[in-house]
Structure 1
Amino acid sequence: CNMYLRNNIKYLIPVISKNFVNPDTIFANNQMSLQDIEIYGFDYDYTLAFYSSHLHTLIFNIARDILINEHRYPEGLREYDYIPNFVIRGLHYDVQKALLMKIDAFHYIQLGTVYRGLNPVPEKEVIAMYEGSHVPLEIMSDFYGKSSHGHTMKQFMDIFSLPEMTLLLCVNDYFMKHNIDYEPVHLYKDVKEAIGDVHVRGIMYRAVEADNEKYICYGEQTHAVLRKLSKNGKKMFLITNSPFDFVNRGMNYIVGKDWRDLFDVVIVQADKPGFFNDRRKPFRRVTDKGVLLWDRIHHLEKGQIYKQGNLYEFLRLTGWRGSKVLYFGDHIYSDLADLTLKHGWRTGAIIPELRKEIKIMNTEEYVHTMTWLQALTGLLEQMQVHQDPASQTVIQQWINEREEMRLRTKDIFNAQFGSLFRTYHNPTYFTRRLSRFADIYMASLSCLLNYDLQHTFYPRRTPLQHESPIWPEQTSTGAMNIPFRKSA
């Protein structure tokens, strides 16, 4: 039977292979029509501005040197360089145990993805530490992914966190290799502070400003999206945590010196997610030279730059409320969660990793592996009722082979942690939050160029576990054969 399936899998693959997913698709978690959207809002970093991998190396190196020079960490840490693609976004870090891991939507640790330093922790050791593989709610990260108020887990949700995770692993690795006793909580706080200093002191900002060509990518595509929205009479605003001079230089590079003409409101150093919840901070106007003015703000004027403030005052001054507003950001918690839960804005998540993962899923190797994996799973489900020794021997062989293939599919995406979106068959905790807080998601803003501004996004209807799949399997609108807007 096993050999029969292997010999006939080739007849299944051509059918499945036709369903390649276009990486430039916009995917819907919730039905949404662009026809209803009058106002478009944007974060800046990794939304309007995309950065090259050089930036992660820069952040890692500067933070590592801060640990050595200012926190008196061992000089030997200079031997560690940034390791691109070692970690992925959405991982959890147990601050007290110094463990980095991937957790699924049901709070279960994906065994084999738990790392202390640069080495995986054996599954038996993980199970012993957590008395299984489930992480109780009370020690999971808080609403914004932070480790606070008794929560011992920190979830790393933004792209800037990749060098921070890598640095945590490298420092842990050095201490363990050299048998140095250390307190994991203090180590975490020191690394967090060093990474924060790279931003707060303006070191990263100055480096990017000095060499935009090295660090900023895809400027032409962002420019095209903004021009398209402006041409169609859409209002636009920018709310970012970055300082004005940094944003101004970046937007001059991406769009041109007239970039402010495209935006009706520009807010810098907003301090999200506090911006969405703290009613106390007033808006202050910032001059082109960066001087902060203290006059009370009665109107948010086009062409002006504002600092801090809060969303409640923003809503009062603009009247931009509810589902006519669509806001894009890369951080699911800081950018999107409060807007969709408390204010009814529509939200769009920018997930650059999508493009790479979709390209992997479109490969023959992945299609072949997943087809056979699904076939094995179906066999196990149907044949487990046979209890005779011969059947049980075959079933155990299938179980072993299935486990090998699950590991293989993980490694296709990332050898350490697998896919950003799945832990084997379950969605990741990251995916769970993405599904809850983002109406739509895409690899980059440039995906908007493929759609008319009257387009309606429909989520795929997939059968619930108790529903019979009696209707033809539907695909996310445009995922396989995108009805892209035709050029005039």
Structure 2
Amino acid sequence: MSVFVNRILNMKKIKAIGFDMDYTLVRYKTENFERLTYGEVQKKLVEVLNYPSEILDLKFEFNLVQQGLVIDKIRGNLLHVSRFGKVKKANHGLRTLSFTEQNDTYSNSVIDLSDKNFQSLDTAFSVSNGVLYAQLVELKEKGVELPRYDLLADHIKEAIDICHSDGSLKTTVANNLSDYIIQDERLVDLLEMYKECGKKLIIITNSEFYYCKNLLEYAIDPFLKNHKSWKDLFEITITLSSKPRFFHFRNNYLRIDPDTATMTNHEGPITPGVYQGGYAGKLQKDLGLKGSEILYLGDHIYGDVLALKKTFGWRTALVVEPLEDEIKAIQKSKPVQRTINNYMKDKEALERQLDQLEMDKYLKKDFNKDEVGKIYSRIDKINNNISNELETYRTCFNPHWGELMRAGQEESRFADQIEKYACVYVAKVSDLLEHSPRTYYRPIKRILPHELI
């Protein structure tokens, strides 16, 4: 895998590198973890929120949802949205809306995520959320007594929050690490290389210290060559940071004794150690660095990347876990895409001929009606061929939603957010090992339509 560059990033100027933990430093076996989350949320909906027990019969379907979709809470729909906020595909429950239904509902709409009636599914953690929402909407349409569509969305989020707060998810993961966590020796090689090159390494995570400790001891400690523990590798570790609040609000720091997990109020500068809470502004000030000298890597556009980009100007890298499968799918689809492109060239040439013949008619020149009919027939044949090729093309990607980074011919809203707020993006942090800690990352010049002439 490579590093994909949206904006110039000169690693020579980066003096501190911060990392989120979950899905960034520590990689999850996503399908396993989302299945676990799905099951625990089902239980909470029944036991805490009094949902009918028949929802426990629902089965988790990993590919039913992909990262980057949007929930329309009022209409009960899942949406695949373009960078311009236009809906390119919509599902109601498990049913895809027809072109007419979709057009009638959304043709004059621009999806604005600042509207509380829309909920974005922007992280790998949100797959189970979307799957369960779609299935509950489907059950509701079949006559099961369930709340309004918007309340379904709110209740699922509430149940997920309960699962995180009561430890039901994290306890299971901590007790079965090999089932849910991926060990990546290359990641540890990268971190030690950065450390040796003088970069200050920092963790800023929303997870509690005990969970952070368990996962890092499993994912990092076995592969360390020049350090005894992850605590020696990272200069500062900040747990329960409450991102994105960490980038906006002046919360106090608590210092944690990593051996006993006891906490004390912290006064004065932030020095090497383990902390809870706090505020990014104080961290940056005590590090004595400019925002442009800090790179932060995370997996959440809004929680990790957008907030700090707007407040402190830190450089940003986004970890997009599904990117690895997406790139494989793109490679697999290339022969089909070439065939489609060739058909489109033939079709455009015929359309130009047809336009000229139609103009002859309007200009009262000789008009060959038979020739027009032949051209329409050839275009119809090409359209059928393209339709067949598109069916093959779609089999390369998510069977329900297609490409992650595209919505039709346009970039998806998810791709647009990555481009706007991430300096670089990768499928996993260890992909950076292919490049020197002093690499000057430069974006490829984007070609504008008029530049193709």
Would you call these one fold, judging by a TM-score over 0.5?
yes
Give the corresponding residue for 1:171.
136
**Cα distance in 2 between the residues matched to 1:252 and 1:383:** 64
**Cα distance in 2 between the residues matched to 1:213 and 1:239:** 24
**Cα distance in 1 between the residues matched to 2:27 and 2:146:** 39
Amino acid at match of 2:374: A
* Kept after mapping to 2: 8 A contact 1:31/1:456: yes
Q: Which runs of 5+ in 1 are unaligned?
A: 1-23, 143-149, 470-488
Give the corresponding residue for 2:235.
264
Give the corresponding residue for 1:72.
50
Moved more, 390-399 or 72-81: 390-399
Give the corresponding residue for 2:225.
none
Give the corresponding residue for 1:135.
109
Matched ranges for 1:323-362 at <5 A:
323-362=292-331
**Cα distance in 2 between the residues matched to 1:348 and 1:259:** 21
Q: 1:118 aligns with which of 90, 94, 97?
A: 94
* Kept after mapping to 2: 8 A contact 1:386/1:392: no
Give the corresponding residue for 1:486.
none
* Kept after mapping to 2: 8 A contact 1:31/1:458: yes
Percent identical residues: 24
Give the corresponding residue for 1:9.
none
Amino acid at match of 2:218: Y
Q: 2:252 aligns with which of 282, 294, 307?
A: 282
Give the corresponding residue for 1:384.
351
Bigger helix share? 2
Amino acid at match of 2:24: T
Aligned residue for 1:441, secondary structure, equals: strand
* Kept after mapping to 1: 8 A contact 2:174/2:211: yes
Q: 2:338 aligns with which of 356, 364, 371?
A: 371
* Kept after mapping to 2: 8 A contact 1:222/1:254: no
* 1:107-134 deviation digits (Å, cap 9, x = unpaired): 12123xx22222222222222222x2x5
Q: CA deviation at 1:403?
A: 4.3
Amino acid at match of 1:455: T
Q: CA deviation at 1:29?
A: 0.8
Give the corresponding residue for 2:446.
462
Matched ranges for 1:73-88 at <5 A:
73-88=51-66
**Cα distance in 2 between the residues matched to 1:383 and 1:311:** 60
Give the corresponding residue for 1:50.
27
Q: CA RMSD in A?
A: 1.8
Amino acid at match of 2:275: Y
Find the structure with the greater CA-based Rg.
2
Aligned residue for 1:25, secondary structure, equals: coil
Q: CA deviation at 1:407?
A: 4.6
* 1:193-239 deviation digits (Å, cap 9, x = unpaired): 01111112221111111111111103323222211111222111111
1:61 paired with 2:39, answer yes
Q: CA deviation at 1:404?
A: 4.4
* Kept after mapping to 2: 8 A contact 1:410/1:424: no
Matched ranges for 1:298-309 at <5 A:
298-302=268-272, 304-309=273-278
Aligned residue for 1:452, secondary structure, equals: coil
* 1:14-52 deviation digits (Å, cap 9, x = unpaired): xxxxxxxxxx11111112222222211100000001111
Give the corresponding residue for 2:203.
238
1:314 paired with 2:286, answer no
Aligned residue for 1:186, secondary structure, equals: helix
Change (3 A) 1:58 1:181: closer
Moved more, 119-128 or 265-274: 119-128
* Kept after mapping to 1: 8 A contact 2:284/2:291: no
Change (3 A) 1:333 1:381: farther
**Cα distance in 2 between the residues matched to 1:228 and 1:96:** 50
Moved more, 402-411 or 86-95: 402-411
Amino acid at match of 1:292: M
Aligned residue for 2:116, secondary structure, equals: coil
Aligned residue for 1:241, secondary structure, equals: coil
TM-score by structure 1 length? 0.84
**Cα distance in 1 between the residues matched to 2:242 and 2:54:** 36
* Kept after mapping to 2: 8 A contact 1:219/1:253: no
Change (3 A) 1:219 1:385: closer
1:34 paired with 2:5, answer no
Q: CA deviation at 1:340?
A: 2.5
Amino acid at match of 1:73: Y
* Kept after mapping to 2: 8 A contact 1:35/1:455: yes
1:180 paired with 2:145, answer yes
* Kept after mapping to 2: 8 A contact 1:348/1:441: yes
Amino acid at match of 1:32: L
Amino acid at match of 1:64: Q
**Cα distance in 1 between the residues matched to 2:146 and 2:160:** 23
Q: CA deviation at 1:181?
A: 5.9
Amino acid at match of 1:136: V
Amino acid at match of 1:50: R
Change (3 A) 1:337 1:80: same
Q: CA deviation at 1:342?
A: 3.3
Aligned residue for 2:395, secondary structure, equals: helix
Q: How many residues align?
A: 428
Amino acid at match of 1:285: R
* Kept after mapping to 2: 8 A contact 1:322/1:344: yes
Q: Which runs of 5+ in 2 are unaligned?
A: 222-227, 355-371
* Kept after mapping to 2: 8 A contact 1:281/1:309: yes
TM-score by structure 2 length? 0.90
**Cα distance in 2 between the residues matched to 1:273 and 1:167:** 26
